[in-house]
Structure 1
Amino acid sequence: MSVTLDIRLKRANKVYREGPIQLISSNIEVAKAGKIPGGKTEIPFEFPLHTKGNKVLYETYHGVFVNIQYTLRCDMKRSLLAKDLSRSCEFIVHCQPQKSKVIPTPVNFTITPDTLQSREKNSLPKFLIRGHLDATNCVISLPLTGEVVVENSDVPIKSIELQLVRVETCGCAEGYARDATEIQNIQIAEGDVCHSLAIPIYMIFPRLFTCPTLETTNFKVEFEVNVVVVLHDDHLITENFPLKLCRL
């Protein structure tokens, strides 16, 4: 007789939030030893999310060098002549919203060859690009917004892009290793855009691949956004902005 084991969350799209006591690991028995009748058998279960000691429940995050994941694993022990069954699935944890209000910190920027920290800036064509971000202290459930304006450029514009970057810092034997990797890249303009025309900046923070800015004794997870202007001769003009993400 063929037997399959599965875990089905009652609310698969539910986000489980941490409480005053937080989860690291927990084992419960959902059914006593005995015979399961033929057909489909559903066994309901629930348990609180408790931590061990003074450890903290961090928000679910899928990164490159830092991963924070929470999984359920169900093991069904069977008789000697039958193979044990096991099944796992991930569930999502969000941290408690912070109580203090987030005060938006708008940032204005101006990009010219003189503002770039590049050894090749003397060989770059002349251009003037202005813009602003509405906030760099960002609520993770709300979009990053702003605008960029190409005032003038001696070389036609090829593309304008927004690049979201994760910066992960991990402890190691030599000290700390800090690595920046791309999360997503969004093109907000293509071709030689009209000069003095405001181009809106609008970026959604992707679920799982971002989390509230996190700093612990062993690792840090931070985020940045790059405004990237690609000129027709493939010169890249990049302006970097550190972001602080939080949840309300």
Structure 2
Amino acid sequence: MSNVELKLSRSNRIYCPSELLDGKIVIKLSSSISHYGVYLNVNGSVNLQIRGGSAGVIESFYGVLKPITIVKKRIEVRASGKIGSGTTEIPFSVKLRQPGEDNSERYYETFHGANVSTQYLVTVDIMRGYLHKSLSATVEFILESDKADLPERPIAPEMVIFYITQDTQRHPLLPELKTGGFRVTGRMSTHCSLLDPISGELTIESSAVPISSIDMHLLRVESVLLGEKIVTETSLIQTTQIADGDVCRNMTLPIHVILPRLMTCPTVFAGPFSVEFKVTITISFQSEVCKLYTKSDPTTPRLWLAMETLPLELVRTK
């Protein structure tokens, strides 16, 4: 039995570019083996792809673009020799960014998107020659911005006032919604820290039609440079229900949405790609028609929906 495991020093696996990536290689063997070196590989890259159906791209087109390399290191942890049976632990430490290296802007934060994905991996390889399969293990670690590069003071949430009525909608509505009318007002933070929730409030001032649900959808807007054109796609990250049922009129409802770590990152505007975010507040009204579209996209305009979309700028703070 041969087993190799990578254990990082931090259980949350979160590191900054200026910090040491350290841990230990745990090797469990039923019998001793000979090897030609134990190597540690650290790789970080931005992976870009274009999926069929994206705006401005032919439906059948599918393209994976060349990854943008952020960091690529290979270190010999142990020279060739033998590893005895039982459990062997080999400590390691890697400096991701060398002191004085002025390329902090290249170390984008970890992000798992639909078309843009920034990922950092550490892999151990125990080379055993042509007659034996190499032993290896891989672990993903999460990279965040250096605290030294972050603002000294915490940012103040930028609150934006919004209102939703039948006149603000750009899509067709049910006749009873157009004639009876409705009015929803509120305010929400649109410039906030990744460490803080999206906060705000809204009030149903009036509505002739009973309300079914009030939801807030967090969206990512990923843009990729393809040749001379920019392909942009918006996709849903998560949905948070603010209210269920026909809520009381003129009662203030709080908005409190925690951001998912791996699916969000600081808003990025780079040369070959960009990652932005926005939120859509959706008011669903009670209607028999909506029962025919139970599996529809919640952010797609429908006859029984009222919507308001706001841009969201995310930043990393200390």
| TM value normalised by structure 1 | 0.92
Residue equivalent to 2:312: 243
Structure 1: gaps (5+ residues): none
Q: Secondary structure at the match of 1:167?
A: strand
Please name the residue that 1:36 is paired with: 83
Aligned residue among 79, 95, 111 for 1:48: 95
Which residue of the partner structure matches residue 50 of structure 2? Answer: none
Partner of 1:152: 206
Name the structure 2 match of 1:130.
Answer: 185
Contact between 1:170 and 1:219, CA under 8 Å: does it hold in 2? Answer: yes
> Could you tell me which of 193, 213, 219 is aligned with 1:139?
193
* Structure 1 residues 111-122: aligned runs within 5 Å: 111-120=164-173
Query: Which of 163, 168, 178 is residue 110 of structure 1 equivalent to?
Result: 163
Distance 1:137 1:121, change over 3 A: farther
Instruction: Report the Cα distance in structure 1 between the residues aligned to 2:254 and 2:211, rounded to whole angstroms.
Output: 16
Aligned position for 2:243: 189
- Whole-angstrom distance in 2 between the partners of 1:107 and 1:226: 13
Q: How does 1:47-126 map to 2 (within 5 A)?
A: 47-50=94-97, 54=103, 56-97=106-147, 98-99=150-151, 101=153, 102-120=155-173, 124=178, 125-126=180-181
Contact (CA 8 Å) 1:25, 1:50: kept in 2 or not?
no
User: Kindly tell me: are residues 53 and 130 of structure 1, through their superposed partners in 2, closer, same or farther at Cα, counting changes over 3 Å?
Assistant: closer
3-state SS in 1 of match to 2:87: coil
Deviations 1:43-73 (A, max 9, x none): 0000100389957110000000000000001
Q: Which amino acid aligns with 1:78?
A: R
Higher strand share: 2
Q: Alpha-carbon deviations, 1:90-148, whole Å to 9, x = none? A: 00000134226424321111111112222448763410111111x21110110011111
Is the contact made by 1:161 and 1:189 (CA closer than 8 Å) also made in structure 2?
yes
Letter of the 2:115 counterpart: F
Deviation at 1:193, TM superposition (A): 0.5
Counterpart amino acid of residue 68 in structure 1 = T
Q: Which amino acid aligns with 2:10?
A: R
Counterpart of 1:173?
Answer: 227
Higher mean C-alpha deviation, range 96-105 or range 165-174: 96-105
* TM-score, normalised via structure 2 length: 0.73
* d(CA) in 1 for partners of 2:129, 2:227: 46
Q: What do residues 167-189 of structure 1 show as CA deviations (whole Å, max 9, x unaligned)?
A: 00001135010000000001111
The one-letter code sitting in structure 1 at the alignment partner of 2:151 is K
Q: Which whole-Å CA distance do the structure 2 matches of 1:5 and 1:103 have between them?
A: 47
Instruction: Give the paired residue count.
Output: 245
Q: Per the alignment, do residues 152 and 16 of structure 1 end up closer, same or farther by CA in structure 2, a change over 3 Å counting?
A: same
Q: Contact 1:17–1:95 at 8 Å: present in 2 too?
A: yes
Name structure 2 gaps, 5 residues minimum.
20-43, 45-69, 291-303
What SS class does the counterpart of residue 28 from structure 1 fall into?
A: strand
Aligned-partner Cα distance in 1 for 2:249–2:102: 59
Instruction: Give the AA of the match of 1:76.
Output: I
